């Protein structure tokens, strides 16, 4: 099939501004502040625009639909013509996803693409293929929406690649499993989309297997590191890229330990310790208590080395 041309260069960083919470409620003004920081601190080379993401570490699973809409609208308004926006959507129930997508596409400044998060609950590959393919085709034709599909289970690798290959509205697959899944997805896509690394800034193993671009949950803290890492591997300077990745590795291990238990909480804790005035990560989100003292001490040690990248 012929894929529609896209003007977007997805071989980049998708930077996720932290969604701050206060007493369990999302703070839209503080979220806007974090987005503005990421736009202002864009160090991507070649005049490339910042790409802002919503979802993942922003605790989308703990947000009501109306809160999601308010936050994505803030992100889009901050982006304007200075940045691109990839908005996360929970794909089930599909009716709710369609309603949220429709309302976002009605914004004065709508998102540029949507990330369909993993399907929750009981599902099988053929059911996923049928429903996601139909959803992306319908919403693409109706609204012009573009999509990424988020791979979090190796059992769904082939079916998500099939959806991406078979739908002109799907830009690619975000790899959230391991580097071992990158090459098979690249091969299955056959040029009909990209495999984007989706497990943080320690991305070079995935890049070596053919991934293009990566997502960052720590860019709100260390935008300079995420950007310079992307600049380096894009130009083939893997010595510089490995040096940056090695400095980030300790903090990333903390975020992803114990099945990503501190993916969000470690970032909020680091922001509080650092006292950065140009961002606001709130006081902790629902179901995300402050890490235990031993983890906080490790966060503190990592922050001493990484604060220069803010």
Task: Report the C-alpha gap between 234 and 273 in whole angstroms.
Answer: 32
Instruction: Please report whether residue 6 resides in a domain.
Output: no
pLDDT tens per residue, range 14-48: 999 999 999 999 999 999 999 999 999 999 999 99
Instruction: Please report whether residue 2 resides in a domain.
Output: no
Instruction: Please report whether residue 280 resides in a domain.
Output: yes
- The β-bridge relationship of strands 13-15 and 21-22 is unpaired
Task: Report the C-alpha gap between 165 and 249 in whole angstroms.
Answer: 33
- Give the pair of three-digit tokens for residue 241: 């890229």
Task: Report the C-alpha gap between 35 and 33 in whole angstroms.
Answer: 5
* pLDDT above 90 as % of the chain: 95
pLDDT of residue 58: 62
Which domain CATH number covers 209?
A: 3.20.20.70
Task: Report the C-alpha gap between 81 and 130 in whole angstroms.
Answer: 35
pLDDT tens per residue, range 243-253: 999 999 999 99
What is the extent of the structural domain holding 122?
Answer: 13-309
pLDDT of residue 59: 86
Question: Band of the pLDDT at 1, cuts 50, 70, 90?
Answer: very low
Instruction: Please report whether residue 4 resides in a domain.
Output: no
Q: Which of 199, 194, 237, 230 has the alpha carbon at shortest distance from 212? A: 194
User: pTM for the complete prediction?
Assistant: 0.96
Kindly tell me if the per-residue pLDDT of 188 is higher than 90.
yes
Instruction: Please report whether residue 1 resides in a domain.
Output: no
Count of structural domains, the chain: 1
For 291-309, the DSSP string reads PPHHHHHHHHHHHHHHGGG
Q: Which of 155, 242, 159, 161 has the alpha carbon at shortest distance from 201? A: 242
Instruction: Please report whether residue 5 resides in a domain.
Output: no
Q: Give the 3-state secondary structure of 94-158.
A: HHHHHHHHHHHHCCCCCCCEEEECCCCCCCCHHHHHHHHHHHHHHHHHHHCCCEEEEECCHHHHH
What end-to-end distance do the CA atoms of the chain give, in Å?
Answer: 44
Instruction: Please report whether residue 32 resides in a domain.
Output: yes
Instruction: Please report whether residue 190 resides in a domain.
Output: yes
Average pLDDT, the chain: 95
């Amino acid at each position: 099939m012929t894929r529609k041309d896209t003007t977007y260069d997805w071989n980049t960083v998708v930077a996720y501004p932290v969604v701050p919470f206060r007493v369990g409620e999302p703070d839209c003004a503080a979220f806007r502040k974090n987005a503005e920081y990421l736009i202002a601190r864009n160090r991507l080379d070649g005049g490339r625009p910042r790409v802002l993401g919503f979802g993942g570490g922003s605790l989308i699973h703990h947000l009501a639909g109306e809160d999601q809409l308010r936050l994505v609208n803030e992100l889009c308004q901050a982006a304007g013509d200075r940045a691109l926006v990839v908005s996360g959507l929970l794909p089930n129930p599909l009716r709710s996803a369609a309603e949220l997508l429709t309302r976002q596409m009605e914004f004065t400044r709508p998102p540029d693409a949507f990330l369909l998060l993993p399907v929750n609950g009981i599902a099988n590959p053929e059911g996923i293929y049928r429903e996601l393919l139909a959803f992306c085709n319908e919403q693409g034709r109706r609204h012009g929406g573009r999509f990424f599909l988020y791979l979090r289970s190796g059992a769904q690798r082939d079916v998500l690649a099939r959806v991406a290959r078979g739908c002109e509205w799907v830009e690619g697959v975000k790899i959230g499993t391991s580097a071992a899944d990158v090459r098979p997805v690249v091969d299955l896509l056959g040029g009909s989309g990209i495999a984007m690394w989706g497990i943080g800034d320690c991305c070079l193993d995935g890049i070596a297997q053919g991934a293009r671009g990566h997502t960052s949950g720590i860019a709100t803290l260390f935008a300079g590191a995420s950007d310079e890492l992307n600049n380096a591997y894009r130009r083939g300077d893997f010595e510089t890229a490995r040096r940056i990745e090695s400095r980030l590795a300790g903090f990333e291990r903390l975020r992803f330990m114990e099945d990503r238990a501190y993916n969000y909480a470690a970032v909020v804790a680091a922001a509080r310790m650092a006292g950065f005035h140009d961002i606001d990560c709130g006081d902790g989100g629902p179901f995300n208590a402050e890490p235990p003292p031993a983890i906080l001490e490790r966060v503190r040690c990592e922050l001493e080395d990484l604060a220069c990248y803010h």
